[in-house]
Structure 1
Amino acid sequence: MTLPVLGDLTWAPAIDHPDLLAPPVLAALQAWADVDLRVAGQVAVAAIDPDHADTATLNEVHGLPPEASANCVLVAGRRGDVERVAACIVPATTFADVNTRVRKLLDVRKASFLSRERAVAETGQEYGGIGPLGLPAGWRVLVDARFAEPGTLALQGSGVRRSKVLMTGELLCAAPGVEVVDGLGIER
């Protein structure tokens, strides 16, 4: 098993670099590695300048293809007294179809983005570094089906702005709790 590599960043096994991961992300990776042997050898992490954490800047500075970047959007809606929250993971070349696809998947009348303050408080991750790993129990993790295509990579938040996590799209789609969804992202 070999680590994925991308751009000019220096990649290392994520599980071996807890200093580059938010505590909930590290805990999720460790638990996942206990049940899936691929995780230790195929989930990579790289340190980055936190000023370059935003997708467009990171891609430009490090020569990364935009289609490999996985943006994580947090959305919530209500059905009666029950709130339903989801993380939507879509390629950076798209945007999450919140008003149609996500709203229907959550079975809510209206879906809205979580506020920055709430996203940070509830995930234990830094804004601009939030990714699909280590999210609160009960949240759905919806991943665009494009990541399931052979040969895709998924560059995502590590929970902190000073690093990024990289794995194959296939592995992302196999992460605990992930739901692979056709048409989650709409082309820009």
Structure 2
Amino acid sequence: MQLVFQSVTQQPDLVAAPVYQQLKALAITDQVQVAPIDPAYADGDLLSQHYAIPFAAELNCLIVQGKRQATVKYAALVVPYGHKANTGGVTKHALDVSKVSFAPLADVLAQTQMELGSITPLGLPSTWHVLIDPSVFEQPTVVIGSGRLNSKVQLPTTILRQLLNVQVVAGLAK
């Protein structure tokens, strides 16, 4: 089965509200497409098998929390599907923190207004960092979460560079 992507402007209800707000603010809604999916197939392996999405076009977005003394920083780590995110020294250095751990799920869901299993670097709080492995940009277009479990977005990778607080971090994917 193939996904049928259409402009996010035609189906704004298929993305989380903060995602659509950021796309509108950046004036890029015409460049981002969305497709409904069965939430049972939202995971990368299942998504690829059921909807014929190539693994090379899929991205993972993980949310971490970095700390240095009383300062807490949140960051989205964006890596190609099938790769682990280097949450050690590479992430610590990029965020200038002494400790990195996965962010508490309840905090992530509350602050992003997104659903578990569909967190995306689109529409994150303005104080959050977005760290992206350079290999992400080897693909002209990618598929990533929409903030809602019942859909995926497809976008040119150049859009990722336009997001707030973006850093391209060599060695982020391992």
Ranges in structure 1 where 5+ consecutive residues have no aligned partner: 1-6, 34-38
My pick for the range that moved more, 155-164 or 100-109, is: 100-109
How far has the Cα of 1:92 moved from its partner? Answer: 0.5
CA distance in 2, matches of 1:84, 1:117: 16
Quote the offset at 1:89 in angstroms: 0.6
Alignment of 1:142-161 (within 5 A): 142-149=131-138, 151-161=139-149
Question: What secondary structure is seen at the aligned counterpart in 2 of 1:41?
Answer: helix
- Over the matched positions of the two proteins, sequence identity in percent amounts to 37
Any runs of at least 4 consecutive aligned residues in structure 1 with deviations exceeding 6 A, and if so which?
Answer: none
Aligned pair count? Answer: 174
User: What is the alpha-carbon distance in structure 2 between the residues aligned to residue 28 and residue 40 of structure 1?
Assistant: 9
Structure 2: gaps spanning 5 or more residues: none
Mapped pair 1:167 → 2:155: yes
SS of 1:96's equivalent? coil
5 Å-filtered alignment, 1:8-157, equals 8-33=2-27, 39-149=28-138, 151-157=139-145
CA distance in 2, matches of 1:11, 1:159: 16
TM-score normalized with structure 2 length: 0.93
Distance of 2:66 and 2:144 partners within structure 1: 24
Q: 2:60 aligns to what SS in structure 1?
A: strand
Query: 1:14 is aligned with what amino acid?
Result: V
Between the aligned partners of 2:136 and 2:156, the Cα distance in structure 1 is 8
How far the C-alpha of 1:43 sits from its partner, in A, is 0.9
Q: What letter is aligned with 1:21?
A: V
Q: RMSD in angstroms over aligned alpha carbons?
A: 1.5
